[in-house]
Structure 1
Amino acid sequence: MLTHFRGLPLFDGMRRLFKSAQPESQRWVVLDTETSGLNPYSDRLLAIAAVAVEVSSDFKRVSIVIGDSYEAVLKQELPSDKGNILIHHIGAQAQSAGRPPLEVLEEFRQWVGNCPLLAFHAAFDEAMINRAYSLFGLKPLQNEWLDIEPLAKITGANPRIKSLDEWLSHFGIKCTIRHQAAADTFATAELLMRLWPSLIKEANSWASLRSISRQTNWIPR
């Protein structure tokens, strides 16, 4: 379990002290959300988990920064239904005892900064997070997003693979608790690392990688 102080890792201060050694533009954030359902226009954001990855200045290496992570459960006035709880395991009591959403969302904005955001099926996470900001009268995040799912297709594996479970199995990545935001986040970050050798053959910058993700999304399934 990660150690946090009001949602921020204790090592975050150390990262900030040495920020000049590794440019902020090379800090990317992989994230995952837990929600009350799969409709980004009506369901609620229950939890956010994220971990930073550092991309080397020559774009050749990417590594997970375990001490630079974030996790928070947002307080819910009404917990999600039992079927939903069985999926993400955030019980009714945990939802009721969560932190004030305004506090979490503003704290998350500060922690993320202007870093790029990555997720598996990122469009859903982006919609859920920015809808939460809007519901609480806050300005949505302005960060750029990248979907990891289309990038997996250029590895030469079966392009019909769609789910995160299938990709984790393909690469032999173990996820301690699926559909638990923190575990899914670290598994997704590890997936990015496994994809990296193939990705850098096609891209040498955030912009080119983002372009490939968008183009690859049109590959027939």
Structure 2
Amino acid sequence: MSLFSWLRTKKPGLDGAQLKRMEQLRKPTALGGGSLRDQRWVVLDLETSGLNLNRDQVLSIGAVVIEDGAVDFSQLFERTLQRAETKLSPSVLIHGLGPSAIAAGSDPVEALLDFMEFVGDSPLLAFHAPFDQHMLCRALKDSLGHRLTHTFLDVAEIAPLLCPDVPLREAGLDDWVNHFNLHVGERHHASADALATAELMLILLNRARQQHIDSPQALQERLSQWKRRRQAPSF
């Protein structure tokens, strides 16, 4: 056995059909200069067994699609993942995913393959995206040996960027939903939270166009500039 074999990450045991699906997953495309309206965005939310980035697991995935300037209700995704040895934290009181629901969930390999096929080459949006991105990356690596390289934008940062007149800073999704008087369904389930985030994002995309931010690439660049200004030391 060579020295380098000790350094390789052990690949999950996928069967032939699963490996073929892995090979056929679409590569992400960079955000381009086309119209914001024409961009397909996948808005996701995760429910997890807790908030520890290194120990807790993804329990469910909910996602909706924004395309042609609206939420496309023909493109919805929701899966609960089966987790045999997951210890649930008090967060179960919020998202309601108890042991019976998790035991009846989908095989994580199949659920994650389904999700990545649903995403395709589209960029991802989430509220407080760094948490969702980290947890999703871990789940994909652990179950599929797959490295997520899709663009991931944070709606919690896009909102104050495009709405500087709104006196909300470090605000949660509920704060923005209430500010814009959005009528959303049951909250704190992955699919419902994804839909609430998508409804907020539709307002933000309209604000972007009003500010002459006309393409996904321009939005990404403006967001990067805004983040750099916030992180710059003040003298």
Question: What TM-score do the two structures reach when normalised by structure 2?
Answer: 0.76
What letter matches 2:117 in structure 1?
Answer: Q
The answer to whether 1:97 aligns with 2:82 is no
**Contact 2:50-2:88 at 8 Å conserved across structures:** no
Aligned-residue offset at 1:213: 2.5
The answer to whether 1:64 aligns with 2:63 is no
Aligned-residue offset at 1:101: 0.2
Q: Which of 117, 125, 146 in structure 1 is aligned with 2:132?
A: 125
In the other structure, the counterpart of 1:4 is none
Q: Which has the larger radius of gyration?
A: 2
Higher relative contact order (CA closer than 8 Å, sequence separation 6+): 2
Unaligned runs of 5+ in 2: 1-37
**Contact 2:47-2:61 at 8 Å conserved across structures:** yes
Distance 2:94 2:207 in 1: 32
Question: What TM-score do the two structures reach when normalised by structure 1?
Answer: 0.80
Q: Secondary structure at the match of 2:193?
A: helix
Q: Which of 80, 83, 89 in structure 2 is aligned with 1:76?
A: 83
**Contact 2:50-2:89 at 8 Å conserved across structures:** no
Q: Which of 190, 211, 214 in structure 1 is aligned with 2:221?
A: 211
> Which stretch of the first structure deviates more once superposed, 78-87 or 123-132?
78-87
Count how many residue pairs are aligned between Structure 1 and Structure 2.
190
What letter matches 2:140 in structure 1?
Answer: Y
Distance 2:204 2:75 in 1: 21
Q: For each residue in 1:188-207, what CA deviation from the matched residue of structure 2 results, as whole angstroms up to 9, or x when unmatched? A: 10001112221121421111
Identity %: 37
**Contact 1:133-1:139 at 8 Å conserved across structures:** yes
Q: For each residue in 1:162-201, what CA deviation from the matched residue of structure 2 results, as whole angstroms up to 9, or x when unmatched? A: 1111011101113322211111111110001112221121
Unaligned runs of 5+ in 1: 1-24, 56-61
Distance 2:206 2:112 in 1: 34
The structure with the greater share of residues assigned to strand is 1
**Pairwise CA RMSD of aligned residues?**
1.7
Q: Which of 124, 146, 156 in structure 2 is aligned with 1:139?
A: 146
In the other structure, the counterpart of 2:10 is none
Q: Which of 115, 122, 130 in structure 2 is aligned with 1:115?
A: 122
Aligned-residue offset at 1:99: 0.3
**Contact 2:81-2:102 at 8 Å conserved across structures:** yes
Aligned-residue offset at 1:219: 3.8
